[in-house]
Amino acid sequence: MDSIEHGSFLTEDTLKLMKSKGVYLVPTRMAVYWTNKNADQYPPNIAAKARAAAAAHGNMFKAALRIGVPIAFGTDAGVFPHGMNGMEFGLMTDLGMSPAAALLAGTRDAAKLLGLEADVGTLEAGKAADIVAVPGNVLSDIHATEHPLLVMHLGRIVVQKAGT
């Protein structure tokens, strides 16, 4: 097993085992946040599970950070509106992950988990030029990731805000 997604109900013993085996946690905080925020729209039994998962997820994530479980950024873009992925960084840092670690989870570490680190995940000669430019310094304001100004994929600009 390479990763566990969400992991709301993981115990500390399981997190320790994950660390020892190099199994990644892909917490997808945004999916938990969104389903909890909209739980009133679900049938009662599903709403109750969404709330329970959200309540447990924060504590599990903090424990994973403390234990040192490898973490990779993931999305469930079908669970929440497309284009809100940048909020994941803030949701992770709100629970104690450093902005630098969150950014690495979304780039280098996610590429490593997927076995793509030779091609993507870091800015290096010979790798795909996938770049997202945002306003400001993401290390002092991680929420800048929610406002992309430019997106480059494979060296081609695919999104560019006016004035950029």
pLDDT tens digit sequence for 34-85: 999 999 999 999 999 999 999 999 999 999 999 999 999 988 767 787 888 8
What are the angstrom distances between the C-alpha of 44 and each of 39, 54, 131, 163? 8, 15, 42, 47
Predicted pLDDT at 80: 81
Residue 117 to residue 32: CA distance in whole angstroms: 27
pLDDT tens per residue, range 4-32: 999 999 999 999 999 999 999 999 999 99
Predicted pLDDT at 82: 80
pTM of the model: 0.90
The answer as to whether 72 is a domain residue is yes
Whether the Cβ atoms of residue 122 and residue 108 lie closer than 8 Å to each other: yes
Task: State the CATH number of the domain containing residue 66.
Answer: 3.20.20.140
The answer as to whether 131 is a domain residue is no
Domain count, the chain: 1
